[in-house]
Amino acid sequence: MLDVCSPGSLALSLLLVWLMLAPALFAFNLDVDKVTVYSGPANSYFGYSVDFYIPDSKTTSVLIGAPKANTSQPEIVEGGAVYSCPFPSAGTRGCKRIPFDTTSNRQARLNGTKQMLEFKTKQWFGATVRSHKEKVVACAPLYHWRSVKESSERDPVGTCYVAIQNFSSYAEYSPCRNHNADPEGQGYCQAGFSLDFYKNGDIAVGGPGSFYWQGQVFSANIAEIIKGYSFKSIIRDLIGEKKTKVGDSEYDDSFQGYSVAVGEFTDDSEQELVAGVPRGKQNFGYVTIIDSENMTYIYNFTGDQMASYFGYTVAVSDVNSDGLDDVLVGAPLYMDREFESNPKEVGRVYLYLQESPLIFKDAQVLNGMEVFGRFGSAIGNLGDLNQDGYNDVAIGSPFAGEDKKGRVFIYNGNRNGLNADPSQILEGSWASDSLPAGFGFALRGDSDIDKNDYPDLIVGAFGAAKVAVYRARPVVTVDAQLLLHPTILNPENKTCQISVSDTLEMLVTCFTVRVCTSVTGQSIPRNIVLNAELELDWLKQRGAVKRTLFLDHGDSHLAFDLTVGKDKLTQCQNFVVYLREESEFRDKLTPITVNLNYSLDESVFLGDQDLKPILNRYKEARLQEQAHILVDCGDDNMCIPDLKLSARSDKKQLIMGDENHIMFIINARNEGEGAYEAELHVNIPAEADYVGIERNMEDLRQLNCEYKMENDSRMVVCDLGNPMVAGTNLSLGLRFVCQRLENVNSIKFDLYVKSSNKDNSTSNFVSLEILITAVAQVEIRGVSHPPQIILPIPNWERKEKPSDELEIGPLVQHIYENIFFYIFWGKAA
């Protein structure tokens, strides 16, 4: 069970996932530049277990288990060791083996001959290590013992050693070393496979092999272990020890105690024991909460996927800061079945928030992102890493990342649980040929090793025999305000003087931008320098805003520094923004936007020892405020126009072949509030050409109209005013000439008024359809005889009552040489 599960071959999908992960990662808030790294003997699995050792204000060190290390114990090979490494580190030599046990195997005289009673070779001492104030416990779960009963089997009962008082006193605790041997008893217990401390200093120990691997958990008091301890008494009854009992054979092969943790789930003062049972419940796995007083099971969390190893790890922390402990469960072999045909083994962590005693919310799940990454192999309670009031969590994925170097994902807590996305991903930096580096297989947080008031994190990489200590950077929370005054600008209010040339000054409209900042944060430097940038109307750069704004120095952009003292009063700076004269800004409706963004000037923190502070990633370092230009649109300063359009043509139909002139009389009104950049748009059909506006009729306005072509559509655009004030009622005439009328039965002009207002920006649409209906067109050619008559006809006397044709005048005879006509029948006619 202690085997290092070797991950399968890495599929191509892993590479893709890695690429997807790469962008937009924020290193919040563990420092990755000044990492303390301890190295241990090669192949000793140095870093398989880790913990802090901070018994008092003077001592800070890191405890590191190396379960395959060779020791000086006589005749014992790879007995395993626990090292104490001073922090700050004094080089790799600084790590010292803690002398929990310096002895060889004990022997006893049986049947007259000396026989070995215990077998410490390859016992995996240091597979677990835990400290609580000055108490330290480390275990050897593969410690074997030969029962003093008649049979001579070697049973892996496991054993633990405790140390107290600054390692001045040691004692052994082996809860399964008794007469209840063999697989059916506690012989295969492997006590110490998992380990944790109660807050009162008692220990919880897991022994997943007892009773045909039903597994078992124990609780014991360290003072009792020390008190009655004698090197000679191999089997002892420990006062106050509690343990779970054997169950029916249906519970065989469950591995209860594969992981253990403690927490408060019954709203009293006695913490409960939490035990992972990763192969219980038909291999779905479960985690059980156990009453520490009488070792009865009081609550179960059950896994939702067979063989996912739900309960491989458990951790307890109050992540949503409601005062109630919450439970985290790792299932590192969980398969993501989102794509049913191709399930991916990514691993999963479940978070159960405690709502009230023994009532939990449905799990929040965090899935691993890399196939065979074993996400959830370790869960580290970090304490409040960023000092925002919520505890944070580290999750190890020891075979993830490039070359399976391993990764650790940091998740920040919030009032509803954990953030769905990690705030930081730590990358293992050691590759190993023989076995994976396993960076992230062991994690321990929630202790402040450098005394900067932020808890730090230890990450073990046993395959590379390395341990890294990551320290948390102080978090600077900037409270910034951007204040504009006034927020509604009257273009008539020209009170600011600017010089347009050496001699010429001019008055323009202006407003003030006030930037105020204050900072807060634990253990942050006295003075913080922020690099800030102000940007006016940033849309302008994309051509969306038609106006010119500028700051004192003549640009619409300004970079400046803000020096902010910690815990001092809010500090402010003022800037004046000028608007060019009104004729230069057509756009009065788009609000003027002022953007401020800032970042921490890290160049001022040059100290070697201290960590650079970091900006709070959850506080947006970008602010935006808006000012409006007074538009006289009622109290709300919001203009909602009501644009109306009507139009008629002077001709209802056109005659083919002619050069047909046509005029439209168009009436445009605004019956609502001011319309900005109001324009009349007339789409022109292919058969028509724009001639111009009608200038000769008194009641028609002579507006500014332009012919335009956009995307193959031809149009006339007339400026109706900016603004087209409320109550405007104007008419205009537009002239067109229509040719090329063959093969059409009608032509259509589309008209509408549009404005740049946000609401009700366009008028009704008007379509003017001009028919080319059935018209007979006759072409006549001929001569008349006489060819010409001069009138008045000389000597012609007009009779009162002409009696024959001649009396009207001389005969004019028309001779039609050729007559033809055609009638064009329009299709619709």
Ligand X SMILES: *[C@@H]1O[C@H](CO)[C@@H](O)[C@H](O)[C@H]1NC(C)=O
Residues of this chain that bind ligand X (CB under 6 A): 41, 43-44, 56, 59, 68, 70, 77-78, 110-111, 150, 166, 280-281, 288, 291, 293-294, 296-300, 486, 490, 493, 495, 510-511, 531-533, 597-599, 640, 642-644, 669, 672, 699, 710-711, 713, 729, 760
38 vs 466: CA distance, rounded Å = 6
Report the candidate in 320, 355, 350 with the shortest Cα–Cα distance to residue 332.
Answer: 350
* Nearest distance in Å: CB 512, ligand X: 6
Residue nearest to Ca ion (CB): 266
* Nearest distance in Å: CB 710, ligand X: 4
Distance of CA 71 to the CA centre of its chain: 48
330 vs 309: CA distance, rounded Å = 8
Q: Which is nearer to ligand X, 570 or 624 (CB)?
A: 624
Provide the pairing of β-strand 475-485 with 144-146.
unpaired
Using CB under 5 A as the criterion, what x/- string covers residues 368-407 for binding Ca ion?
Answer: ----------------x-x-x-x-x---------------
Residue 762 interacting partner from ligand X, Ca ion, none (CB closer than 5 to 8 Å by kind): none
How far apart, in Å, are the Cα atoms of 171 and each of 76, 138, 205, 232?
20, 11, 15, 11
Cβ neighbors of 73 (< 8 A, separation 6 or more) are 79, 101, 102, 103, 104, 120
* Nearest distance in Å: CB 9, ligand X: 27
Cβ neighbors of 503 (< 8 A, separation 6 or more) are none
Residue 101 interacting partner from Ca ion, ligand X, none (CB closer than 5 to 8 Å by kind): none
* Nearest distance in Å: CB 572, ligand X: 17
Residue 68 interacting partner from ligand X, Ca ion, none (CB closer than 5 to 8 Å by kind): ligand X
Q: Which is nearer to ligand X, 151 or 784 (CB)?
A: 151
* Nearest distance in Å: CB 352, Ca ion: 10
Q: Which is nearer to ligand X, 285 or 428 (CB)?
A: 285
**Three-state helix/strand/coil letters over 237-250:** CCCCCEECCCCCHH
Q: Which is nearer to Ca ion, 100 or 390 (CB)?
A: 390
- Contact assessment for residue 439 and residue 18, using Cβ atoms and an 8 Å cutoff: no
What phi and psi, each to the nearest 5 degrees, are found at residue 166?
55, 45
- Contact assessment for residue 349 and residue 366, using Cβ atoms and an 8 Å cutoff: yes
Q: Which is nearer to Ca ion, 118 or 318 (CB)?
A: 318
Q: Which is nearer to ligand X, 13 or 282 (CB)?
A: 282
Q: Is 155 in the site for Ca ion (CB under 5 A)?
A: no
Q: Which is nearer to ligand X, 168 or 230 (CB)?
A: 168
Cβ neighbors of 446 (< 8 A, separation 6 or more) are 380, 381, 382, 383, 455
Residue 297 interacting partner from Ca ion, ligand X, none (CB closer than 5 to 8 Å by kind): ligand X
Residue 537 interacting partner from Ca ion, ligand X, none (CB closer than 5 to 8 Å by kind): none
Residue 293 interacting partner from Ca ion, ligand X, none (CB closer than 5 to 8 Å by kind): ligand X
For 491-505, give one letter per residue: b (16+ CB within 10 A) or e.
eeebebebeeeeeee
Q: Is 326 in the site for Ca ion (CB under 5 A)?
A: yes
Residue 452 interacting partner from ligand X, Ca ion, none (CB closer than 5 to 8 Å by kind): Ca ion
Q: How many of the other CB atoms lie within 10 Å of CB of 548?
A: 15
Provide the pairing of β-strand 496-499 with 505-520.
antiparallel
Q: Count how many Cα atoms sit within 13 Å of the Cα of residue 582 in the half-sphere of its side chain.
A: 12
Tokens for 258, please give them. 């594969």
* Nearest distance in Å: CB 350, Ca ion: 14
Report the candidate in 276, 274, 244, 273 with the shortest Cα–Cα distance to residue 259.
Answer: 276
Report the candidate in 199, 210, 287 with the shortest Cα–Cα distance to residue 243.
Answer: 210
Residue 326 interacting partner from Ca ion, ligand X, none (CB closer than 5 to 8 Å by kind): Ca ion
412 vs 389: CA distance, rounded Å = 10
206 vs 248: CA distance, rounded Å = 19
Identified binder of Ca ion from the candidate list 43, 104, 180, 266, rule CB under 5 A: 266
* Nearest distance in Å: CB 314, ligand X: 14
Q: Which is nearer to ligand X, 493 or 739 (CB)?
A: 493
Using CB under 5 A as the criterion, what x/- string covers residues 441-480 for binding Ca ion?
Answer: -------x-x-x-x-x------------------------
* Nearest distance in Å: CB 797, ligand X: 56
Interface residues with Ca ion (CB under 5 A) are 264, 266, 268, 270, 318, 320, 322, 324, 326, 384, 386, 388, 390, 392, 448, 450, 452, 454, 456
